[in-house]
Chains A and B, each alone.
Chain A
Amino acid sequence: EVQLVESGGDLVQPGGSLRLSCAASGFNFRTSWMSWVRQIPGKGLEWVARIKEDGSEKYYLDSVEGRFIISKDNVKNSLYLYMNSLRVEDTALYYCARGGSWFLDWGQGTLVSVS
């Protein structure tokens, strides 16, 4: 069974930093593209970033480029999102998702509040 478990969400002040983690199991993480997608509670979905299987390619939403960094540890089967210079508009539920184009599996999400 595929499992994606996010952690690291918190309440942070504008300009602050957070590191989100996603522990993956039940599939071959080493050969999988992975992504982060966010959702403002009660609102729609927004793709944030994606990373290639070996970490050699990374792509970002323009509004987070230069502030967020996606990374992948294929030994620990973990995905990360380093978030810097956080803004109020980054407040959302952040999902870890398997896939770099469409998203086959999703975690339950971790809540980031910037206020």
Chain B
Amino acid sequence: ETVLTQSPGTLSLSPGERATLFCRASQSVRGGYLAWYQQKHGQPPRLLIYNAASRGADVPDRFSGGGSGTEFTLTINRLEPDDFAVYYCQQYGALPWTFGRGTKVEIK
């Protein structure tokens, strides 16, 4: 199975700053089939990015995804208070689909 390692585990930033989150795969993710989700406490995950770089419906353009192969990034420009949450990456290039363990973006 493809293991996804997210880093850092926690990112402490201030509103207005840029966040860069990393997701490394144990093997190349076929087709760049990688998604990113945001999860707030007590809520289900929300799709942000699919196919590594395509934004989901109603996702602000402050969120952008990139990467290929085994290295992927999620960038959040100009952090807003509502962006402080946990972010997960997920690959769907090879069964079983797998998720990373998450990066928590917290207010500094």
Contact = CB atoms under 8 A, between A and B. Distances in A.
Interface of A: 44-47, 50, 59, 61-62, 95, 101-109
Interface extent on B, as a size class? 20 to 34
A104 B37 CA distance: 10
Interface stretch (B20-28, B73-81, B92-100): B92-100
Contacts, number: 49
B61 to A, nearest CB: 19
Contacts of A102: 33, 35, 47, 50-51, 90, 92
Interface in B27-60: 33, 35, 37, 43-47, 50-51, 56-57
A107 B44 contact: yes
A104 B101 CA distance: 19
A44 B97 contact: no
B6 to A, nearest CB: 9
A62 B96 contact: yes
A45 B92 CA distance: 14
Contacts of B102: 44
Given A44-B88, A45-B88, A47-B96, A104 B47 contact: yes
Nearest to B35: A102
21 contacts: A44-B100, A44-B101, A45-B45, A46-B99, A47-B90, A59-B95, A61-B96, A95-B45, A101-B92, A101-B97, A102-B35, A102-B50, A102-B90, A103-B37, A103-B45, A104-B56, A104-B57, A105-B47, A106-B44, A106-B46, A109-B44
